[in-house]
Structure 1
Amino acid sequence: MADALSLVTTLAIFAFHISTTKQINQTALIKLLLDLFALLYIVNGFSHAILLRYSSSKYGLGLQILGLCCAWVCDSSALVAGSFMGHAKLAPVVSPGKTLLGAIAGVISSIATVLVMFAFPQFSNVLPWTHELLPPLDVVPFIHQIALGTVLGVLCIVGDLVESYVKRVAGVKDSGAFFPGHGGCLDRMDSFLFVAPCLYFYSEFALPK
């Protein structure tokens, strides 16, 4: 499904550029490359989020929830820690507001989120529905959870920086106004677009079917 969607979108982008380009020059090439980057960035992320839900593992829904929680908790923790305690800038040219301490706090909070989420199935006698969300500890041991949380946290930071770079190149503050005061959908989902493919492959190759 993801491959078919990417192929159709790629062909549509090329068809649009061929039909609208009046002169072949460097500007036309840059526009084409930017559109192809958007394909890789947005379509790939959302298509893998859909694939994750219907992956061969039975924990697709739980991993979707885990990815969203990690993305939002990581972003919020990085913002709070960076605002109150951070001084060293992480990427001053791309995003002056992001700090190294904020990024570290974001990764730590991502690890904590993974540990908390994977602990839910241990309380299935109290919350019966939780045993179907994520695999038990004997399937995903503690050290694997730490590693997964670290990878997801780093991907969240990278996703946030990539979206900041795209907005800076486009000369806009927010990707839209869907959420008043918080920007558009892409501002809320930037980190998840990088997390979703990682969780999909984790579900396919590391978890029981």
Structure 2
Amino acid sequence: MLSTRILTAIVTIPILTFILYQGGIYWTLLFALIAALGLFEFYNMISSKGLAPLWLLGYLTMFLILFSSYYLEFIGIIIFILIFTIVLFTIVFYPQKTIGEISLSLFGSIYIGYLLHYAINVQTLNNAFWIILLAFILTWASDVGGYFFGRLFGREKIAPLLSPNKTWAGAIGSIVFSVVITIGYFSFVPLNNIEFINLITLGIIASIMAQLGDLFISSVKRYCNAKDSGNIIPGHGGVLDRFDSFILVLPTVYYFFTFYLNMFI
């Protein structure tokens, strides 16, 4: 299993990096594909629970949110239309469609669409490629640090009902390795000179967010009695299995460059 994971990473990481470096429409289509596959897996999981997600409404909602940066002036009326649609669906299709199914369908759309819309927003920043690459690297660093520290020192479980293999030692290792990688990354890439304490802050928060994203999708899988969210990525499971941490690290990195640095430096 580990060898398959490593081989998949060796093949996919250069392709991912190349697409991000090209930017533009390739960048946008990449994250649209990730979002579409992620929502597909989310709906498949809740379908296995005996619930019937609203596929069309869900995908429409997700893509409206994902690309909301392009039409922010209309976001108010779009939200109103979505709320009206929910009300209408709840009334017209009751009891075939319940509020539980509608709520879960739209939560998946909003969770995936809103968090990944930060990837679209990153394109507007200076050094966009290096910033999005940082988000990916911090995600991988947290994962790698947690795995090896957990294997070497892990005893006490952090959330045994959600993820039996997660330990406090692994959680600490994730943070430590993320901080080290953050410092190393800023030593080699053409980004702003940022104080040491701010790099430590970024590494800590990004790792915590990565672990929370992982545990959250684990909770969805446990609820749906699913081992993995899908099987599209050899050795890794589904898209949500691979990007569950990234989609919470992404807004963390985005706000680090757009809000934190402006407020505290």
Q: Give TM-score, length-normalised by structure 1.
A: 0.79
Distance apart, 1:201 and its partner CA: 1.8
Match of 1:183 in 2: 237
Residue identity in the other structure for 1:202: F
* Residue matched to 1:87: 155
Segments of 5+ residues of structure 1 without an aligned counterpart are: 121-129
Greater fraction helix: 2
Residues 96-152 of structure 1 show CA distances to partners (whole Å, capped at 9, x for unaligned) of 1111111110011111111011001xxxxxxxxx42xx212xxx1011101111111
1:207 positional shift:
4.6
Residue number in structure 2 paired with 1:51: 121
Q: In structure 1, which of residues 189, 197, 201 is the aligned counterpart of residue 251 of structure 2?
A: 197
The Cα shift of 1:20 comes to 8.0
In the TM superposition, what are the counterparts of 1:3-22 in structure 2 within 5 Å? 7=78, 11=82, 14=86, 17-18=89-90, 21-22=93-94
Question: Take 1:167 and 1:192, find their aligned partners in 2: how far apart are those partners?
Answer: 17
Cα distance in 1 for partners of 2:235, 2:167 equals 22
CA contact (8 A) 1:52 1:196 kept: no
Post-superposition shift, 1:16? 9.3
Contact 2:179–2:199 (CA under 8 A) maintained in structure 1: yes
Q: Name the CA distance, whole Å, in 1 between partners of 2:224 and 2:212.
A: 18
SS at match of 1:37: helix
Shift of 1:206: 3.9
Could you tell me how far apart the structure 1 residues matched to 2:95 and 2:177 are?
A: 50
CA-CA distance at 1:94 after TM superposition: 1.3
Residue number in structure 1 paired with 2:50? none
Query: Does the C-alpha gap of structure 1 residues 54 and 89 become closer, same or farther in structure 2, counting only changes over 3 Å?
Result: same
| Aligned partner of residue 92 in structure 1, secondary structure | coil
Distance 1:116 1:15 in 2: 51
Q: Find the counterpart in structure 2 of residue 124 from structure 1.
A: none
1:135 aligns with 2:195: no
Q: How many residues align?
A: 189
1:115-126 matches, cutoff 5 A: 115-120=183-188
Query: Would you say the 8 A contact 1:178–1:184 is kept in 2?
Result: yes
More displaced 10-residue stretch of structure 1: 32-41 or 105-114: 32-41
Q: Is the 8 A contact 2:145 2:178 kept in 1?
A: no
CA distance in 2, matches of 1:16, 1:79: 47
Percentage identity across paired residues of the two chains: 32
Deviation (angstroms), 1:48: 0.8
Q: SS of 1:70's equivalent? A: helix
* SS state at 1:159 partner: helix
For residue 109 of structure 2, what is the aligned residue in structure 1?
39
Indicate conservation of the 8 Å contact 2:146/2:172, yes or no.
yes
Cα distance in 1 between the residues matched to 2:256 and 2:68: 16
Q: Which has the higher contact order (CA 8 A, sep 6+)?
A: 1
